[in-house]
Amino acid sequence: MSVKQTYVIGALVENKPGVLYEVSNMFRRRGFNIESISVGVTEQKDLSRMTITVNGDERTIEQVIKQLNKIINVVKVSILNPKTTVVREMALIKVHTTDSKARSDVIQYVDVFRGHIVDVSSDSLIAEITGDSEKIDAFIELVTSFGIKEVARTGITALSRGAKVIKSSQELVKEAI
């Protein structure tokens, strides 16, 4: 029996329209679920980095990797080792603050979680919390009693620690010259 776990996949893709659609459509066609996905341009303007979080067993992840590698605009795919990877997520949480006591309590919680208050209105405030998913979940659970109006989460982004990098074969050739 295969054990399901969370895998973080890093992928370098061509930075052009339709690539995110191709990747997400592959997941849809194959019946794989994306837990989170974040995409952004890299140090090379023609490449973007995708960080995709997927729950599954080893067999499922092997299939995901094989299918991603078949997509023409996908340059390089790698499973990131959780022990040697820096993983972060950012969340904006709008919390209901009915009075100055509630506002003060929420501000203290934000400080404890090393977050930032990014907006204040007469009946709410928005906290920005950055860290691993468990940290964000813990903050949300703590402030639930005040009333959460809205939550927006980025999904995780990740990089391997140290010298290990995901590079395209073109980059490796350039470095060798």
Is-contact 75 12, C-beta < 8 A? yes
**Tens digit of pLDDT per residue, the chain (177 long)?**
567 888 999 999 999 999 999 999 999 998 889 999 999 999 889 999 999 999 988 899 999 999 999 999 999 999 998 889 999 999 999 999 999 999 999 999 999 999 999 999 999 999 999 999 999 999 999 999 999 999 999 988 998 888 777 766 555 444 444
> Which sequence spans correspond to the domains of the chain?
5-80, 86-157
Query: Is residue 92 a contact partner of residue 152, using CB atoms and an 8 Å limit?
Result: yes
Instruction: Indicate the CATH number for domain 86-157.
Output: 3.30.70.1150
Query: Is the CB of residue 73 less than 8 Å from the CB of residue 13?
Result: yes
Q: Does domain 5-80 have CATH number 3.40.50.1000?
A: no
Task: Give yes or no on whether 5-80 and 86-157 have one common fold.
Answer: yes
> What is the predicted pLDDT for the residue at 173?
40
Please report where in the chains the tokens 């989170």 appear, as a residue: 36
Q: Which amino acid is at 113?
A: F
| 101: Cβ contacts below 8 Å, ≥ 6 apart | none
Alpha-carbon distance 91 to 89, whole Å?
Answer: 7
